[in-house]
Amino acid sequence: MNRKGLIIVVSGFSGVGKGTLMKELIKRYDRYALSVSATTRCPRPGEENGREYFFVSNEEFERLIEENGLIEHAGFVNHYYGTPRKFVEDKLSDGIDVILEIEIQGARQIKKQYPDAVLLFVMPPSAIELKNRLIGRGTESAEVIDKRLKRAKEEAVGIEDYDYIVVNDDLDECVQKVHQIIDAAHHAPFRNIDFINTIRNELFEL
Ligand code: 5GP
């Protein structure tokens, strides 16, 4: 069976711990590559340009859109975020799974363009735990936290459009679960049509 590279979209409410989860997944398994998005928001303490995000101006972001340099983009709480095209296409053609940690509007754009994509939504163990994690992170003002929680209520409506949900309670268990889900998704018949047809043809030639 020839393993094709897939796009794995990972979404989840702000503060749910997607970033930590994805960094851990990449560290443990070398078959995944994490896409670095472009954003117009400012870096948080500890974030580096080119590692967490490419931090760009509004003008640079608009230029990227005009040049067709993004495979999707969306607005999120006062800022723009988008996925650079080249990295994703290069990794897919090398047979490597590319993880896009993006919000729900972007996820929908990806599913339209890449019906093969696996859409995964990371859930908190409870709503109050989510709020505590956002406050505990200490990187956003009370006003921004409120906006992000409001956005979570809106995003909660779209979770059924995803293929899988995982609960981020124990980091270790959650990383393993995500890996198992991706592995299982690779085995779906519709993602292996070429292989199935090869065997069918071989059967006729027996
Ligand atoms: P944060 O500011 O907390 O890093 O990210 C805010 C939201 O934007 C998160 O839900 C994150 O998943 C999403 N996001 C990050 N990069 C992208 C991107 O390239 N495209 C889209 N559509 N959403 C993104």
* Mean pLDDT of all residues in 78-92: 96
pLDDT at 2 over 80: no
pLDDT, one tens digit per residue, over 65-77 is 999 999 999 999 8
Amino acid 137: pLDDT: 84
Pairing of β 79-84 and β 37-39: antiparallel
Type of residue found at 180:
Q
For the chain, the C-alpha Rg in angstroms (whole number) is 18
Does residue 35's CB lie within 6 angstroms of at least one atom of ligand 1?
A: no
Q: Residue 118 sits in which domain range? A: 7-205
Query: Which of 170, 164, 173, 177 lies closest to 12, judged by CA?
Result: 164
d(CA 125, CA 174): 12
Distance from residue 179's CA to the centre of ligand 1 (Å)? 21
Amino acid 4: pLDDT: 87
Domain total in the chain: 1
The answer to whether position 2 is within a domain reads no
Q: Quickly count: other Cβ atoms within 10 Å of residue 153's Cβ.
A: 10
CATH code assigned at 131: 3.40.50.300
Does residue 109's CB lie within 6 angstroms of at least one atom of ligand 1?
A: no
pLDDT at 110 over 90: yes
Our mutation pick for probing the ligand 1 site, out of 48, 70, 101, 162, counting the most ligand atoms within 8 A of Cβ, is: 101
**Confidence (pTM):** 0.93
Residue-averaged pLDDT of the chain: 95
